[in-house]
Chains A and B, each alone.
Chain A
Amino acid sequence: MKANKALLLSVVLSACVTTLPPAHVITHPERADARLAVSWIGHATTLIQIDDRFVMTDPMLVDTVAAGLSHRMVGVPISPKDVPPLDAVLISHVHFDHLSLDSLASIEHKVRRAYMPEGGLVYLSNLPFDAVDMRKWEGSSDRGMEITAVPVAHVGPRYLVDTWVHAFTGWVVRYHGITVYFSGDTAYAPADFRATKARIGHIDLALLAIAPIHPRSIMRKVHMDPEEALDAFVDLGADHMIPIHFDTMTDSTDAPHEARDTLARLVRERHLESRVTILAIGEQSVVIAK
């Protein structure tokens, strides 16, 4: 009960957050020197470049979501006008901080196709780009880029009452032999991660959510903490990991930078410094150079 009250207070206070400007700003996201590059836009939003293709995950390109109830702590580091044409937008689930309709509207003419979890299209509204919804293990191919919905453990409703909605998924993108895994939000689900490894094979990069951590009694069922995210990284057998979903929104009782600092400590303890890259919002990493 105490944990519930603390979480509720945290969520309520999130409406009062002042959004600070990002320390890094992205104006030219395309990297000529990269086969695989990732820019972290904040929260679960990443811009992935695989050779000549661009993919964005859970675009949140506005400072507030949930009808103004939830604010970013750090502003958006890229202007919609600087977002390159997107071959795919991957939506992991329909919670307000992952399916931001204003954000999608701001890049609507740059999106070739959006990929939604099964049952998610009803939450998209009639945006002009093409969109499909996919069930677990379903795959779709577009001009050589393969996108597969993979299982994760989360919850679906957007409006609390819509308990019949189970629209959540992880995604795998493969193009030119490079494979990227995007967890969206998920609890630690080793069976799902190992099944993904068995079906998908080699994964070059895993984008894994590492927060919110607390209150753990609640979050454990739906979110990984940094230690579990590293375990998931091992379960997936990925070469590299970039953590996401931390230090952007007030959605927990975590201390400032707790997830980031905990992950950094664990990475040192497990000697994973060469394989795990912790980005700041607006930073970019070349994972595989040309």
Chain B
Amino acid sequence: MLTCEEYITPGSLNEAFAAMARHSGRYRIVAGATDTLPWARDGRAGDVNVPILIDISKIPELRALSVDDKRARIGAATPIQHFLDDPSLARALPCMPRCAVWFADDQIRAQATIGGNIVNASPAADATPCLLAHEATVELASARGQRILPLRDFVTGPNKTALAGDELLTGFECDALHGYGGSFEKVGHRRSLVISLVCLAVLVKLDAAGRRFEDVRLSIAGIGPLPLRLAEVEKSLRGGPLSAERLEQAADMPVALVASRTRQDYRRDVVRGFMLRGLINAARRAGADPDALAPELEAAYG
């Protein structure tokens, strides 16, 4: 079990920095705390005494949300459930509702935060590929000031980030992709409360006729130490038709990237299937002309 001497809930960033300075080396930051409590149990960290817990989830800057035509700014303590429930967020980040519905369960999502999912830097984190596909940047703040990093440079390895000891992840800024179709494909051992074996975020924008890809964004996790953006595959699809041939070529491309520690053959099969399913689902949600999608692929993967 987790024990602590004091549980501090700062009401502002400055209060948080002061508490961090005061208890330097003796604290742990929590937001939703849904990873921290199960971590301090037998079989994982066991009984852990953290002298000071600093709960940053009530800091207003970390809960702020704003969306305009081009960009969205998301506070790090935004609960995952908001991506399902807030229509303006859902429109700007079209793959996030699909990601959120696979994330833990309805109850944990109400408490677990987007910042916590990213900062834990699990190779299978569900939200990371979505935000990578949205070209997200992270805001890191400390008493020294603020810096901005691209998300791809922030997550540096399994459970490793560029966060400095005195810094907090306060929020994200990312592309608002209105008009895109989104999908999120995930597989684990069961439906709810499961860590991804593979997950794939897909964002698709089509031409006015709904027959060609104007933009495609793909990002995958669970197949290696880091979530990856699939830039080569995106390039191969951009400007092209929704033909079965194009989709199948694209689906084959990331198969070779599987570098996980276990179940590589299985993951290769999954990656190919997810690419087809994800592209078809996202294209359909982006308003694809029903005749433009290959019916045999749609029947098998849609």
Do the two chains bind? no
Q: Please list the residues of chain B having a beta carbon within 8 angstroms of any beta carbon in chain A.
A: none
Q: Please list the residues of chain A having a beta carbon within 8 angstroms of any beta carbon in chain B.
A: none
